[in-house]
């Protein structure tokens, strides 16, 4: 970029710097606005109140385990799912005393990734902010209490660090090892679907570690047992959740069913139904492509939601903005054509391998589960634009400034389509949410020391946690859900009558 500045006139230099400052201001304003949203807006989505926040409260003792009993569906998930995301959410809730701050796990994970790209890939902060927030699902998940974004950020860090180990001729440093370990541990212990993907990536990482470090270590005659011990300890931590599930429940992916050598392991639930297109029986990888490019029912974009888009088939498909996906794929191919260097070769190989793995994964058309795919694609393109050598003529177009302008344009379109609901704070507090969704007639029937069984409509089951004693201090009582006397097993039976919205 410095060589480009030398051939510009003084006016162009001034104009270029002014444009850079403008893009930086836009990126900063967006981050500030979304930060306020993360801190002050309570997350109203189903999963957050059905299990993320209850799990977080249990992990940190915000509510005693016996005061809120999970039913036969959620308890096995608490026992088997990776709970690292909820652990971090509970930390923010515990230190602040406000459930709204559980949103900060997703928001801070994105901020950390921006800094990671700046330090290790020399990508300007404003460029990564504008480019990644232009991905609708990233923008949507940055201020909610889901774990999809933080887990995908960890996965993206692991993949990008592994890519960097192949691109760089330098030995792998201690800081790189720490980043690889932490990112792999977070990804694998935050989302069970990532366990096999983490394993695949670590195989590629391990090859580089052997070539660049371990091989030399062994040849030097040093104590190899120490290295084996450290590697084994790291793997135990990284794969702690499936190892724990295997020993406690006899199934590494408990509570989900899995068959090994034809034997069905202990489980409590079947895998969720795969997304489908009505009238079309298509293989999972084909459905992933439909979802990736958002060709159902409209080409390239639709109204996006927490789960995706495509209202005619539910919230199962889309979420990356199909036109933006196409733009980034064409950009990667174009960069490779203009400079088929080591960096571009490895970037293309990484994307091809990643695409094959993700397309075959369970529920791959639900793009929110695998956001790291799009995050890595955008990150690789920015890295190549900011660091690859181009001719003077090519550099006039392929530079961080133009990439920032295009990203800002795409981001503007996404904000227009979504009416800005995911980037501006509404200051909708927990107190307002609570008053709107709790049946106070039912609440008045609960006395200190009661054991209460609440019958609540299926569509409102995520509001059950709102009736818990954590929000009724100083009362202390226990609640659980149930619709029959058998479910309640002698507990006081109450029924929600108010229909919230």
Same domain, 292 and 376: yes
Over residues 202-206, mean pLDDT? 95
Domain span holding position 295: 275-389
- Cβ atoms within 10 A of the Cβ of 216, count? 12
- What is the number of structural domains in the chain? 2
- Is the pLDDT assigned to residue 201 strictly greater than 90? yes
Choosing from 389, 418, 450, the residue where a domain stops is: 389
Q: What are the Cα distances from residue 200, in Å, to 81, 150, 203, 439?
A: 20, 20, 5, 49
The answer to whether residue 145 is domain-embedded is no
Choosing from 366, 389, 412, the residue where a domain stops is: 389
- Is the pLDDT assigned to residue 332 strictly greater than 80? yes
Per-residue confidence (pLDDT) for residue 312, from 0 to 100: 45
How does pLDDT run across 303-326, given as a tens digit for each residue? 788 988 654 445 588 999 999 999
Q: What are the Cα distances from residue 3, in Å, to 162, 218, 223, 472, 476?
A: 30, 44, 49, 64, 69
The answer to whether residue 349 is domain-embedded is yes
Pairing of strands 259-260, 263-264: antiparallel
How does pLDDT run across 424-468, given as a tens digit for each residue? 999 999 999 999 999 999 999 999 999 999 998 888 899 999 999
The answer to whether residue 490 is domain-embedded is yes
The answer to whether residue 197 is domain-embedded is no
How does pLDDT run across 219-234, given as a tens digit for each residue? 665 667 777 888 899 9
Mean pLDDT of the chain: 90
Please spell the DSSP secondary structure of 68-110, one letter per residue. B---TTHHHHHHHS--HHHHHHHHHHHHHS-GGGGGHHHHHHH
How does pLDDT run across 246-297, given as a tens digit for each residue? 999 999 999 999 988 889 999 999 888 888 887 788 899 999 999 999 987 6
- Is the pLDDT assigned to residue 10 strictly greater than 70? no
Q: What are the Cα distances from residue 7, in Å, to 21, 27, 392, 393?
A: 21, 28, 9, 11
B/e letters for 46-55, b = 16+ CB within 10 Å, e = fewer, are: ebbbbbbbbb
B/e letters for 321-348, b = 16+ CB within 10 Å, e = fewer, are: bbebbebbbebbeebbeebeeebbebbb
Per-residue confidence (pLDDT) for residue 7, from 0 to 100: 35
Q: Are 493 and 453 in contact (CB under 8 A)?
A: yes
Per-residue confidence (pLDDT) for residue 1, from 0 to 100: 34
How does pLDDT run across 353-371, given as a tens digit for each residue? 999 999 999 999 999 999 9
- Is the pLDDT assigned to residue 29 strictly greater than 70? yes
Residue with tokens 């690789």: 380
Choosing from 389, 423, 457, the residue where a domain stops is: 389
Question: Packing angle between helix 194-209 and helix 148-167, nearest 10 degrees?
Answer: 20
- Is the pLDDT assigned to residue 5 strictly greater than 60? no
How does pLDDT run across 68-118, given as a tens digit for each residue? 999 989 999 999 999 999 999 999 999 999 999 999 999 999 999 999 999
Element (H, E) at 306: none
The whole-angstrom distance between residue 418's C-alpha and the CA centroid of its chain comes to 20
Distance from C-alpha of 112 to C-alpha of 129, rounded to nearest angstrom: 11
- Is the pLDDT assigned to residue 9 strictly greater than 50? no
Query: Which residue has better confidence, 138 or 66?
Result: 138
The answer to whether residue 354 is domain-embedded is yes
- Is the pLDDT assigned to residue 380 strictly greater than 60? yes
Q: Are 132 and 107 in contact (CB under 8 A)?
A: no
> What are the beta bridge partners of residue 312?
314
Per-residue confidence (pLDDT) for residue 2, from 0 to 100: 36
Distance from C-alpha of 140 to C-alpha of 138, rounded to nearest angstrom: 5
Q: What are the Cα distances from residue 434, in Å, to 144, 180, 439, 464?
A: 17, 41, 10, 11
Q: What are the Cα distances from residue 328, in Å, to 132, 372, 385?
A: 12, 14, 12
- Is the pLDDT assigned to residue 4 strictly greater than 50? no
Residue with tokens 């969720």: 272
Estimate the share of the chain in helix, then strand, then coil, as percent rounded to the nearest 5. 65, 5, 30
Same domain, 299 and 381: yes
Per-residue confidence (pLDDT) for residue 297, from 0 to 100: 62
Percent of the chain exceeding pLDDT 70 equals 91
Same domain, 385 and 476: no
Q: What are the Cα distances from residue 349, in Å, to 152, 163, 480?
A: 20, 10, 51
């Amino acid at each position: 970029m410095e060589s480009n500045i030398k051939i510009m006139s003084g006016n162009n230099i001034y104009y270029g710097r002014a444009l850079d400052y403008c893009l930086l201001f836009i990126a900063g304003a967006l981050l500030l606005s979304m930060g306020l949203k993360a801190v002050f807006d309570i997350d109203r989505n189903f999963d957050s109140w059905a299990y993320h926040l209850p799990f977080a409260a249990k992990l940190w003792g915000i509510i005693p385990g016996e005061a809120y009993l999970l039913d036969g569906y959620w308890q096995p998930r608490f026992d088997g799912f990776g709970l690292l995301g909820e652990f971090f959410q509970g930390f923010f809730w515990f230190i602040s005393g406000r459930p709204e701050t559980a949103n900060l796990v997703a928001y801070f994970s994105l901020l950390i990734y921006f800094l990671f790209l700046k330090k290790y890939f020399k990508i300007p902060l404003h460029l990564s902010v504008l480019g990644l927030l232009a991905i609708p699902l990233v923008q949507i998940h940055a201020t909610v209490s889901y774990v999809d974004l933080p887990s995908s950020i960890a996965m993206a860090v692991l993949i990008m660090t592994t890519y960097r180990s192949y691109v760089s001729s330098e030995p792998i440093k201690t800081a790189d090892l720490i980043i690889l370990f932490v990112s792999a541990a977070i990804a694998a212990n935050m989302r069970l679907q990532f366990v096999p993907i983490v394993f695949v990536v670590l195989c590629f990482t391990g090859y580089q570690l052997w070539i660049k470090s371990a091989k030399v270590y062994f040849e030097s005659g040093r104590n190899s047992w120490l290295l084996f011990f450290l590697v084994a300890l790291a793997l135990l931590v990284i794969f702690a959740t499936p190892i724990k599930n295997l020993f406690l429940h006899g199934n590494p992916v408990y509570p989900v069913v899995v068959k090994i050598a034809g034997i069905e392991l202990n489980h409590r639930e079947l895998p969720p139904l795969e997304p489908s297109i009505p009238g079309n029986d298509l293989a999972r990888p084909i459905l992933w492509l439909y979802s990736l490019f958002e060709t159902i029912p409209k080409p390239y974009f639709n109204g996006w939601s927490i789960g995706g888009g495509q209202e005619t088939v539910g919230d199962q498909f889309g979420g990356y903005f199909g036109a933006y996906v196409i733009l980034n794929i064409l950009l990667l191919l174009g960069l490779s054509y203009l400079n088929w260097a080591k960096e571009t070769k490895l970037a293309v190989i990484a994307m091809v391998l990643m695409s094959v793995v993700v397309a075959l994964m369970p529920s791959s058309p639900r793009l929110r589960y695998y956001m790291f795919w799009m995050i890595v694609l955008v990150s690789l393109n920015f890295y190549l634009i900011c660091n690859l050598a181009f001719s003077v003529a090519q550099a006039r177009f392929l530079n961080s400034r133009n990439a920032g302008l295009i990203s800002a344009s795409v981001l503007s379109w996404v904000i227009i389509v979504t009416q800005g609901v995911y980037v501006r704070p509404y200051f909708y507090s927990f107190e307002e949410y609570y008053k709107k969704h709790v049946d106070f007639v039912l609440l008045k029937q609960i006395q200190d020391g009661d054991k209460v069984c609440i019958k609540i409509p299926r569509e409102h089951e995520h509001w059950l946690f709102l009736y818990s004693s954590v929000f009724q201090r100083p009362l202390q009582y226990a609640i659980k859900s149930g619709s029959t006397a058998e479910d309640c097993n002698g507990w006081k039976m109450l029924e929600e009558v108010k229909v919230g919205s």
